[in-house]
Amino acid sequence: MKDAGAVLLPSQQLIDLSERYAICLSGKTAPAGYDIRYRQFYWLLLFDPDGELRHACALGEALSAGVERGLGVADAFVEVVDAAAKKPSTLQQAQRNYVSSAGSADAFTALREKLMDLQRVGQLQTADMLAKTAAATEDPVRSVARGLILEADACSHQVIAHASFARLRDGIQRFLSRHPDHDEADGLVDLLVEVGMKYSFDVAGRCREFAAPWRATSASPAQQRLAARLVARGDATAAASRERLESMKPDDYDRLRCLAVCGEASATLDALAATKSFGVFRPIHAEWRAAAEQRLRRKR
Amino acid sequence: MQRRLLTLACLPLMAFASAQDRPYREGDVDAFLAAAKRTKRPAVVLFNFDDKSG
């Protein structure tokens, strides 16, 4: 794909295309509000004249399809852009439709379909939109839950960011405290553990901390049920990581995360010492180091 | 000597002309999108592309 790109920039096709479109090579910066997963290469985003996102796609895959049909890279690129421009709606139109339908199930389905067509680009800003416009919908609580589900999906597929995981955990915990008997509550407990705590140190312990207020004798039956579910999920996650560790070699991918998830303080510190932290993992590794050191201090 | 000095003096201008001739902008994607919206032009953003990779 890198070689394919080299064919693209000096091409006459690109010059011709610039008559119809403003074109920007954004380097490593994605447009604000449109997250692209860390270390993903070569994406195309097409905005309409009102600045609304009409399409987004991984360019390598899209160009390969054209090249396989015998097109040159530059012609395949023009074809991708023209096809993107024909998409029937923008992300912002789908968002407006959701609000104008007062948050109907059909409009939410259409919004999710649009996000899937965009390969999830714009998912985090849509999660924000759902939370901010919840009061204007017929079922504001459901709208907030939908926002959290999209936020979890964005964290799971696109955004590896320490702050995003913390925000997701806070959001789900707040929702579950207020609406423990909501029909999305069980699913949100699962997302709290699977996504919100994917990069947490000692997941079983974290789940017990989160569940503590809901396990109190004064808590409602719904909260106590959620607490039991959360603790069980945390224990199962730690057990699964422990099982994976048994068959892992010292330098296997994901071993460090599994050690952290299990709360293995000494082994986590040893593995961190042998690992170079970079990019989005720096704050995550810093948290693991601090938590592991604290645990060892307490043991002494 | 004079010719060499003239060439050196012209280099920034040549670079500027070359940048102007490019059919694309580079960097500051948010400013680029704001300008495209102001002028009502549809816009294509190529993420992870720059002059070298492209």
Q: Are residues A117 and A144 in the same domain?
A: yes
Question: Is the ipTM here above 0.90?
Answer: no
Contact A49 B37 (CB under 8 A): yes
- B-chain CB neighbours of A5 within 8 Å are 49, 53-54
Residue A132 is assigned to a structural domain of this protein: yes
Query: pLDDT value at position B38?
Result: 97
Name which of A27, A44, A51 is nearest B26 (Cβ-Cβ).
A27
Contact A26 B29 (CB under 8 A): yes
Pairing between strand B43-47 and A22-27?
A: parallel
Q: How many domains does chain A have?
A: 2
Name which of A17, A41, A50 is nearest B48 (Cβ-Cβ).
A41
Rounded Cα gap, residues A116 and A139, in angstroms: 24
Query: pLDDT value at position A1?
Result: 45
How many Cβ atoms sit within 10 Å of the Cβ of residue A60?
Answer: 16
Query: pLDDT value at position B6?
Result: 35
Query: pLDDT value at position B16?
Result: 37
Label residue B22 by pLDDT band (50, 70, 90): confident
Query: pLDDT value at position B20?
Result: 54
DSSP state of A253: T
Residue A30 is assigned to a structural domain of this protein: yes
Structural domain ending residue among the three candidates A139, A159, A179: A159
Q: How far is B20 from chain A (nearest CA, A)?
A: 12
Query: pLDDT value at position A159?
Result: 76
Query: pLDDT value at position B27?
Result: 83
Name which of A2, A45, A51 is nearest B53 (Cβ-Cβ).
A2
Query: pLDDT value at position B15?
Result: 38
Query: pLDDT value at position B50?
Result: 64
Q: Which two tokens stand for residue A131?
A: 């939370």
Give the pLDDT confidence of A25-83 residue by residue, as tens digits: 888 888 999 988 765 678 999 999 999 999 999 988 888 899 999 998 889 999 999 99
Strands (E), chain A: 22-27, 43-47, 53-58
Whole-number Cα distances in Å, A142 to A108, A148, A157, A223, A236:
11, 10, 22, 18, 28
Residue A270 is assigned to a structural domain of this protein: no
Contact A45 B41 (CB under 8 A): no
| Contact (Cβ atoms closer than 8 angstroms) between residue B28 and residue A28 | no
- A-chain CB neighbours of B43 within 8 Å are 21-24, 46-47, 51
Name which of A23, A46, A81 is nearest B23 (Cβ-Cβ).
A23
Q: Are residues A33 and A64 in the same domain?
A: yes
Residues of chain A under the 50 pLDDT cut:
1-5
Contact A27 B34 (CB under 8 A): no
Helix (H, G, I), strand (E, B) or coil at A184: coil
Q: Are residues A7 and A23 in the same domain?
A: yes
CB pairs under 8 A between A and B: 126
Angle, CA A203 vertex, CA A35 and CA A121 arms, to 5°:
10
Query: pLDDT value at position B52?
Result: 60
Give the structural domain span for A132: 89-159
